[in-house]
Structure 1
C-alpha cells in the first residue's frame, strides 16, 4: 500500500473500515485543533460554571464483537478487494 493517499478507500479499509474514508492526516489535525481551541476557551474563559464542549466526532478504531481492539493479521489486498466489492 505504498504511494496511496491517506484519504483513499484502501487506506481507510486497512485502518478499520469505511468510516475512516476521507480521514487523512490533515483532517485529524483539524479535529485536534478544534478540540484544543475549545479546551483553551474553557480554561481561560471567565465563566462561573465552564460550559462542556463536545469533541469533534472522529471515526472509532476497529473493534471486534467483544469490544476489544482488533487483533490478528493485516488486511491483504484480496481482503480489501472483497470489502470494497461487497454488496450492501
Structure 2
C-alpha cells in the first residue's frame, strides 16, 4: 500500500497483465461476455477444426453439386459494429469494471 490509498498503479498494471487470456476481464476488454473462456488455444482449435473440414471437402470425391456443407466451429460474435473495426477503442479500467458489475 502506498500512503494508505491502495496499491500502486504499477502493481495493479502488472497484476492485470498477468491475467490469463480466458479471464472475464480479458473477455470484456476484447468485446463482451461472449468472449469469456476464448483464449488463444481455443481460437487455434476452432481454426484447425475449420481447416480440417475445408480439407475434407476439397479432397473428397463429390461432384460440384453433391458436396456436403460442413459447419464452421461456432465463435463468439461481437455485439456492436465498433468491436469489429480493425482499430479497437481502448477501454478504461472504470469502463471494464462497469461492464463487469452490470447485471444481465
TM-score scaled by length of structure 2? 0.73
In 2: Cα distance, 1:16 partner to 1:25 partner = 15
Aligned partner of residue 51 in structure 1, secondary structure: coil
Aligned length: 87
Unaligned runs of 5+ in 2: 1-15
Name 1:31's counterpart in structure 2. Answer: 46
Whether 1:86 aligns to 2:83 is no
For residues 4-83 of structure 1, what are the structure 2 equivalents within 5 Å?
A: 4-48=19-63, 49-61=66-78, 63-64=80-81, 69=85, 73-83=89-99
The 8 Å contact of residues 35 and 56 in structure 1, kept in 2 or not, is answered as: yes
Return the offset for 1:72.
6.7
Unaligned runs of 5+ in 1: none
Secondary structure of the structure 1 residue equivalent to 2:17: coil
Return the alpha-carbon distance in structure 2 between the equivalents of residues 72 and 27 of structure 1: 21
TM-score by length of 1: 0.85
| Aligned-residue RMSD, C-alpha | 2.3
CA distance in 2, matches of 1:25, 1:73: 21
